[in-house]
Amino acid sequence: MRHFLLIVTLTGLVLKPQTPTQTSLASTASARFFTAANMAAALDKAAVSPARKSIPLLAGTSHDVRLDHLDAVNNASIHPNFGELYIIRDGGGTLITGGTLIGPNPPANESITGIRIEGGERKSVNAGDVVFIPHGVAHVFSELKPSISYFIIRLPE
């Protein structure tokens, strides 16, 4: 009889309807919209150097997404702790990836910069192209036609 009561009790626990736990996937954050005109105006004011402009698009978040514009070739670089996804918005150029970074400077801002890359693979990139550069891979735009604007999404390793 005790076994019967135990089985009835356990069966009741297993078959008892469970109230589902309510979890919401909804966020309280707001979507952010970036118009072409607003981004162009922001780039006009965002000179990092005479040849480079950069604006962070998601400031105040943990996401590193920016829009960069180059009017001239920039330094070659390696990012040991993150990869980069480039989405070419306007213009184009030749991107060198891989190879050996020449004249490396001490690391700063999670990057190692140098004067150029020896070796590596050269690819032409144009508006609409997407490139992923893994962490630790040297890269540089070696030629521009005549300039390039591109979104950068940094992806931690």
CA 43 to chain centre: 18
Contact call for residues 140 and 96 (beta carbons, < 8 A): yes
* 56 phi/psi in degrees, rounded to 5: -75, 135
**pLDDT for position 6:** 42
pLDDT of res. 100: 97
Statement: the pTM of the whole predicted model exceeds 0.85: no
d(CA 72, CA 101): 19
Q: What is the pLDDT of residue 12?
A: 52
pLDDT at 76 (0 to 100): 97
143: β partners: 94
What is the full DSSP assignment across 28-68?
A: SSPP----HHHHHHHHHT-EEETTEEEEESSTTSS--EEEE
Q: Where are the domains of the chain?
A: 51-157
User: Under 8 Å CB-to-CB from 118, ≥6 apart: which residues?
Assistant: 99, 100, 102
157 residues of the chain, pLDDT tens digit each: 554 444 444 445 445 555 555 566 777 778 989 999 999 888 888 878 888 999 999 988 999 999 999 999 989 999 999 999 999 999 999 999 999 999 999 999 899 999 999 999 999 999 999 999 999 999 999 999 999 999 999 999 8
Strand partners, 113: 77
Give me the long-range contacts of 53-59 (CB less than 8 A, separation at least 24): 57/32, 57/151, 58/32
Q: Which amino acid is at 101?
A: L
Does the 51-157 domain belong in CATH 2.60.120.10? yes
